[in-house]
Chains A and B, each alone.
Chain A
Amino acid sequence: MMNTSSTIPVEGAIEAPWTLPYRGTVGMACLIVAEAAIFIIFVVAYIFYIGKSLSGPTPAQVLELPIFGTICLLSSSITVHFASSALRKNNLRGCTAFLAGTVLLGAIFLATTAREWHHLIYDEGLTIQTNLFGTTYYSLVGLHATHVIVGLILLSTTLAFSLTGHLKEEHEKKLEVLSLYWHFVDAVWVVVFLVVYVLGR
């Protein structure tokens, strides 16, 4: 028994230190690719059906640019970035503050979407059943909103951890993965915004 391990012996030293990417990041990247593909299909459906509704209302009649919500959502990308860099520098209070800001901004965005839907449904009479525009609009914006909600749940959980002092510097990579997701949700919004509110009108 000269050798009691399953190591395959190698002659000579290993060339370089052996480093591999962090699996959280890679996993999230995969998830993002998959999600992006889902969004693309919904966006394609939206674009394909622009102007094909057999009856009104049309986007031009009822949609308004959601400037305020957009600003909030996009700035939340910045705050979440600051949150994770604060954590990297072990600035726990800064991190908590920025997380709280992110959650708040995200919530405001959701509220503006909710208001918009309320307006469309009750004032304009546009539902998902009304016409092709309603169908594609609610499903695309709704799909995005679902992602915002998921992101908000994750962020709030993190916020709760950091408020109770469970968030530590060693969790920095995990927070970065989460912020990656949040950036993705924001990026999707940019596309949705352009397609629904700019191109579609």
Chain B
Amino acid sequence: MATPVLEAIDQTQAPPQGPPRPNVIYTWLTTVDHKKIGLMYIAYALVFLLVGGVEAILMRIQLAVPNNHFISPQVFNQLFTMHGTTMVFFVGMPILFGFGNYLVPLMIGARDMAFPRLNAFSFWVSAFAGLLLYFSYFGASGLYAAGSAPDVGWFAYAPLTAKVFSPGHSTDYWTLAVFLSGVGSIGTALNIVTTILCMRCKGMKMSRMPLLPWLYLVMASLVFVAVSPLTAAQIMLTLDRYIGSHFFDTQAGGSAVLWMHFFWIFGHPEVYVLVLPAFAFVNEIVPVFSRKAMFGYPAMVAASVSIGFISLSVWAHHMFTVGLGAAGNTFFVFATMVISVPTGIKIFNWLATIWGGKVIFATPMMFCVGFLFQFLIAGLTGIMLSAAPFDWQLGNSYFVVAHFHYVLVGSILFAIFGAFYYWYPKVTGKMMSETLGKWHFWLFLIGFHLTFDFMHVPGLLGMPRRIYTYEAGRGWGGWNLIVGIGAIFQVAGLLFFVYNLVRSYYRGKEAGHDPWDAWTLEWAVPSPPPVYNFAIEPTVNSRRPLWDLKHPEDPDSDYE
């Protein structure tokens, strides 16, 4: 679909495509190029997605039937801790930073990030953190004593993490890994914000910036105020464990609830840190495949910014059962429910973008459609949880697990898959296979719904989370079996995805500059983009520079 106009204007030389040279590893290890770093982030996160996924499968096998003896309680507890920590810190964060790294400079017409070396540093710190976490299997007096990964849960409530209740070094690995990942995240976030504020090409006022950089701007700003508290809390926990301070030592008058506050002051904004980039992908994909401009761009920006702000004041909805008292609970109920207003604005704007368009159901769009429905449902189950008394029943049950997988898998992972299919041609110069993509989509969709729809039910029937087994008489058995079967479908879907990624690289159709007939700057450069991105710094005149170019008779700049 590449338009001739573009071919005409862009004569940037494609980089020479020779056989791989022996220094290829050296090049990647020492690179400071935002695209290479972005890809390393993504590759690294994909590996961890498979690792975390396998952990999830093991848990699902154990829970498929009551009184199962497949896994011991200790190992099960390590599995969900590692699964949660891996998925949030070593899948979600890096994959989203990876896309950000790759796309933000391209979309704002810059040649690199603001601080390329810091960028590399942040990546390697995060990468090291992930390895450190998994090294706990060997290092935390493991290996022969085997199985000594952390087992305190991904929010590691005090005082379970205190030396008395968690002897050995497993929790130390967890703390250090999360701490380092936080350092890396803050570094990358700093880079993203600075890049967006200081590196935009000529004419790209903030009001003309595509929505993806906008959302990354909000997301990165949130990282400063969300991840830093966690970093601080991890410092405290490390001090407690190593030199005997008493921050969270209930025996010395310390408070267990303080840790909860610190963790969720991080934890809640964190989930928006994860979801904002997912919104960003949808913001780019939905308009292109509906062939319409984004409906209500200013409202979209305003909604994102206000989500950022409101999300800082709702953390205690994870603590409705802590006994905050009626006043505290009431406040957090309100703050939490209010988030549905800006979030709703987003949903409605997407709806209005589709309305009156010509929707093309290519794989990226299909994943976005999945996202839209599933995010809607996930948000509504979130509203149920936010009604505090309802949460007294639902909290810490499988209903919560179902809610957050609906967001993390059904929304974020779906959006990420959409992003893979959408930008893969740009990154590799090859199209991904549509047939394999559809297989991936349908299998994963079926698996997702089997798993996470049915997971709500045991929650409503009183099944708490984080239990390694349950009795037969509770009426949870059948539901858990279905949930497990769904997980198998997800594996199948993911195998198609991995195969598609690899196969398309060698066998995919040539993509050209602009296979989707899209509108933002990254599609103006060759695929894959040269090291310097833009031979000459571009100049833009509207939010959709390529639209203006393709439709000189009716440019966007007339309407903004």
Taking the complex as a whole, does A directly touch B, i.e. does some CB pair lie under 8 Å apart? yes
Contact residues of A between 1 and 45, Cβ < 8 Å to B: 1-11, 14, 18, 20-23, 26-27, 30-31, 33-35, 37-42, 45
Q: A1-B8, A26-B193, A132-B254 are in contact. List 7 more A-B contacts (CB 8 A).
A: A8-B538, A23-B194, A37-B225, A38-B229, A38-B235, A129-B243, A131-B252
**Residues of B contacting A34 with CB < 8 Å?**
186, 189-190, 223-225, 227-228
Query: How far apart are A109's CB and chain B's nearest CB, in angstroms?
Result: 22
**CA gap between A49 and B246 in the complex, in Å:** 10
Whether A162 sits at the interface, judged by CB under 8 Å, is no
A135 touching B246 by the CB < 8 A rule? yes
Query: How far apart are A54's CB and chain B's nearest CB, in angstroms?
Result: 4
Query: How far apart are A27's CB and chain B's nearest CB, in angstroms?
Result: 5
**Residues of B contacting A35 with CB < 8 Å?**
228
Residue contacts A-B, CB under 8 angstroms, 27 given: A1-B8, A2-B8, A3-B8, A5-B12, A6-B12, A8-B546, A9-B539, A9-B549, A10-B541, A26-B197, A27-B115, A30-B224, A33-B225, A34-B224, A37-B229, A38-B231, A38-B235, A41-B232, A52-B253, A53-B253, A128-B239, A129-B244, A131-B253, A132-B246, A135-B245, A136-B247, A143-B235
Contact residues of A between 132 and 187, Cβ < 8 Å to B: 132, 134-136, 138-139, 143
Contact residues of B between 177 and 202, Cβ < 8 Å to A: 186, 189-191, 193-194, 197-200, 202
Question: Contact check: which of B191, B245, B521, B537 meets A139 at CB < 8 Å?
Answer: B245
Total A-B residue pairs with C-beta atoms closer than 8 Å? 153
A54 touching B538 by the CB < 8 A rule? no
Whether A68 sits at the interface, judged by CB under 8 Å, is no
Question: Contact check: which of B9, B198, B224, B252 meets A132 at CB < 8 Å?
Answer: B252
**Residues of A contacting B10 with CB < 8 Å?**
5-6
Q: How many residues of B contact A (CB 8 A)?
A: 59
**In the complex, which range does the number of interface residues on chain A fall in?**
35 or more
**Residues of A contacting B231 with CB < 8 Å?**
38
Whether A48 sits at the interface, judged by CB under 8 Å, is yes
**Residues of B contacting A136 with CB < 8 Å?**
247
Question: Contact check: which of A6, A26, A37, A45 meets B198 at CB < 8 Å?
Answer: A26
**CA gap between A20 and B202 in the complex, in Å:** 10
Closest residue of chain B to A53 (Cβ to Cβ) is: B253
**Residues of B contacting A31 with CB < 8 Å?**
190
Interface residues of A (CB under 8 A from B): 1-11, 14, 18, 20-23, 26-27, 30-31, 33-35, 37-42, 45, 48-49, 52-54, 128-129, 131-132, 134-136, 138-139, 143
Whether B534 sits at the interface, judged by CB under 8 Å, is yes
**Residues of B contacting A11 with CB < 8 Å?**
541
B114 touching A23 by the CB < 8 A rule? yes
B198 touching A21 by the CB < 8 A rule? yes
A139 touching B239 by the CB < 8 A rule? yes
Whether B525 sits at the interface, judged by CB under 8 Å, is yes
Closest residue of chain A to B513 (Cβ to Cβ) is: A6
Whether B166 sits at the interface, judged by CB under 8 Å, is no
Question: Contact check: which of A10, A30, A129, A139 meets B190 at CB < 8 Å?
Answer: A30
With A54-B253, A132-B254 known as contacts, the answer to whether A26 contacts B194 (CB < 8 A) is: yes
With A1-B11, A2-B8 known as contacts, the answer to whether A41 contacts B536 (CB < 8 A) is: no
**CA gap between A157 and B84 in the complex, in Å:** 43
